[in-house]
Structure 1
Amino acid sequence: MLAEDPTLGEHGYGVYKGWTKTPTDRAAELRRLREELLSHRAEIDTVYDWLVTNLSPIKTLTECSYSLKHIAERAIGTYVSNGQLIAAALMAGYPTGRPRGHNVLVAVSRRDLKRVLDGRWSRTF
Structure 2
Amino acid sequence: MTLLQLPRTIAPPNTLSDLNELRLTVMAYGTCRGTTNPDAWFPDEPDWEDDSQEATEARGTHKQTARMLCGGCPVRAECLEAALAEEQLLPRSAIHGIRGARSAWERLKLRRSRQRSATRQTRKAA
Q: Does TM-score exceed 0.5, indicating one fold?
A: no
Larger proportion of helix: 2
Larger proportion of strand: 1
What range describes the TM-score normalised by the shorter chain of this pair?
0.3 to 0.5
TM-score (norm 1): 0.32
When Rg is computed on C-alpha atoms for both structures, the one with the higher figure is: 2
